[in-house]
Amino acid sequence: MSTSSNSNLSSSLHKGKACANCRRRKIRCDGVRPICRPCRSKPDQYGDCEWTDTGVTTTQILEEKIGLLEARLEELQRPETSNRSLALRDPYAAPTRSGGFTNPEDIPHTLRRTLLQNFMSHASIMGFFLEKTRFIAAVSDARLSPSLLDVVYLWGVTLSKSPVECDEEALLRKAVQSVALALANPEKRGSMYTNKLVETIQAKHLIAQYFFHKGRILEGNLHMIAAMSLVMSTKMHQINSASVPGPPGLALLEPPRDAIEEGERIHAFWGVLALNNCWTTIIGSTSNMEYTSKDGSRVDAPWPMEMEQYAQAGYRHPPSSHTVLNFAEGVPDNGTSLRALYAKAAMTLEHAAHVGHKHLYNVTNQTGDVRRTSRCFIYLENLILRLEQEISTIHGNFLGDGAQVFMTITVMAHVAMIELHKSFVEMHHASRDRVITSAKQVMATLRSFDLSRVKFLDPIMAPFLSTTYQIAVAEVGRLRQSRSDLDQVVRWHEQEMLQISEGLLEVMTPLSSFSPLFATHLARMQSLIG
């Protein structure tokens, strides 16, 4: 671009359209993308050239994370005066239980047993990946890491169907501190440290889910990132890798003693990765994972099986490689367990949202990448269709947690299609058809399960159902603008969309009395009613 054209662009640049660096430094931005002239002239001083009109920038995300860490550090250092965490709570959050025992060590044995039972009754829904028999034995023998036990009791209080004599806020403070200091012991080797490390990953996963359940997304994101960092630093993504030898100097984990321990680690990796996939999509932040790169982050870990298979058959996985890449390319695999399908759906969801956003940007700005992202768009659509087909072939008599996990997986796959197409509904009739079909499939899935007595759902279901509701309500609005009173087909379609929106409200309403996150999304949904 010539100097004169740059000058003209700079002089006509609308307020707020400059890059983040130029706005922050109060200098004139020429608006040239992807890198403006000031940022190009001093890359070391200015850093990355980022544009806020395309979404939240990497710098903003990092600043948010740093601010949250600083707030948390201040709270830990001055617990008697700090109330910074109050600013992180959702305005719709229901009050937590207060009064009673403030320290898990003071809770009577009978009440501890009740809290443990409360937790175990919903453990699989929130991503519990340890072998349950060994876990309960470790609790009984006082061999479990205090950090994990603190989080388990915290969840036990939250899931109680009747009031318990425990101060939930005090137990939360204790759990957060315990998880933060779980690996403070200088001993970095041996089986005891390995157990503690795996249990700490589980604790961070569970407390992240707790904060998501409470609608405290920033805090949940903080603990999710910490869990993701641990599974990557311990190289769980390369368990049983056929092509990446384990470097002894960096191997923090002792070799698994048996098939169950290996299965726990495989479950840990895929569980944390799926949690990361889901919530980075909802938050709108960049992915914390590069699946296929050659820099050591490529996923070679085998797909998880059901934990019972490791326990009963003593099965050990053969060496594997390029697990995610093979899935994306449609290579047949044995990833048919609920854990594997959940991970597949979560990765597909995240990638669909990313490709949909990227393609919209390229189409809107008529960039040279339109053709490439168009191919990616079609590729993702086919991947989602294959995943939906794979899920539909799973025929299992799932009971309890298993049924709910399967429901979440099915809904997630349909929401992935919505995320891919939702920005193009007004541009392309095919995209409109896709999101409407997916919304119908979400509602059909919910109706196929008995949710009348369900008190707790995977927190990720709240934004999923909210997204689906937005699609249904938007379609009702379009139909009302276009139809005539004599158009019976359109009137029938409008009633169908109204039934979906009303059905979603019926599902969300009872859950909102228990989960602040569901209450938040229900309030947003109700605000759309015209």
Q: Which tens digits make up the pLDDT trace of 136-166? A: 999 999 899 999 999 999 999 999 987 777 8
Within a domain: 63: yes
Assess whether pLDDT exceeds 90 at residue 339: yes
Q: How many CA atoms lie within 13 A of 64 on its CB side?
A: 16
Within a domain: 355: no
State how far the Cα of 446 lies from the Cα of 438, in Å rounded to an integer.
12
Within a domain: 316: no
CA distances from 17 to 28, 54, 55, 130, 132 (A): 11, 10, 12, 49, 54
Query: Which of residues 50 and 495 earns the better pLDDT score?
Result: 495
Query: Which of residues 206 and 315 earns the better pLDDT score?
Result: 206
Q: How confident is the model at residue 12 (pLDDT cuts 50, 70, 90)?
A: very low
Domain boundary among 42, 71, 88: 88
- Residue 111 CB partners (closer than 8 Å, separation 6+): 101, 164, 165, 166
State how far the Cα of 199 lies from the Cα of 204, in Å rounded to an integer.
9
Residue 255, preceding bond cis, omega within 30 degrees?
no
Cβ atoms of 434 and 352 within 8 Å: the answer is no
* Residue 26, domain CATH: 4.10.240
Least confident of 16-20, 129-133, 454-458: 16-20
Within a domain: 166: no
Domain boundary among 72, 88, 104: 88
Q: Read off the pLDDT of residues 119-142 as tens digits, 9 standing for 90 and up.
A: 999 999 999 999 999 999 999 998
Assess whether pLDDT exceeds 80 at residue 420: yes
- Give the structural domain span for 81: 59-88
Within a domain: 76: yes
- Please give the tally of structural domains in the chain: 2
Q: What percent of the chain has pLDDT over 90?
A: 55
pLDDT of residue 11: 40
Same domain, 48 and 66: no
Q: How confident is the model at residue 189 (pLDDT cuts 50, 70, 90)?
A: low
Same domain, 50 and 68: no
Q: What number is the average pLDDT over the span 470-498?
A: 86
Q: pTM for the complete prediction?
A: 0.81
Domain boundary among 69, 88, 107: 88
pLDDT of residue 54: 47
pLDDT of residue 342: 98
Q: What number is the average pLDDT over the span 251-269?
A: 89
Query: Which of residues 320 and 24 earns the better pLDDT score?
Result: 320
Which two structure tokens, joined as six digits, stand for 174? 């204790």
Least confident of 73-77, 166-170, 371-375, 499-503: 73-77
pLDDT of residue 165: 74
The chain-wide mean pLDDT, for the chain, equals: 84
Assess whether pLDDT exceeds 80 at residue 246: no
Q: How confident is the model at residue 2 (pLDDT cuts 50, 70, 90)?
A: very low
State how far the Cα of 425 lies from the Cα of 365, in Å rounded to an integer.
18
Assess whether pLDDT exceeds 90 at residue 17: no
Q: How confident is the model at residue 501 (pLDDT cuts 50, 70, 90)?
A: very high
Q: How confident is the model at residue 90 (pLDDT cuts 50, 70, 90)?
A: very low
Which two structure tokens, joined as six digits, stand for 81? 């005066």
Least confident of 7-21, 176-190, 350-364, 430-444: 7-21
Within a domain: 128: no
- Residue 141 CB partners (closer than 8 Å, separation 6+): none
Assess whether pLDDT exceeds 50 at residue 271: yes
* Single-letter residue type at 396: G
pLDDT of residue 15: 52
User: Which residues make beta-bridge pairs with 320?
Assistant: 241
Q: What number is the average pLDDT over the span 247-263?
A: 75
Assess whether pLDDT exceeds 50 at residue 515: yes
Q: 199: closest CA among 259, 247, 264?
A: 264
Within a domain: 145: no
Query: Which of residues 315 and 6 earns the better pLDDT score?
Result: 315
pLDDT of residue 345: 98
Within a domain: 45: yes
Task: Provide the strand spans (E) within 396-490.
Answer: none
Highest mean pLDDT pick, 87-91, 129-133, 284-288, 293-297: 129-133
At residue 287's C-alpha, the angle toward residues 285 and 290, to 5°, is 165
Q: What number is the average pLDDT over the span 269-275?
A: 98
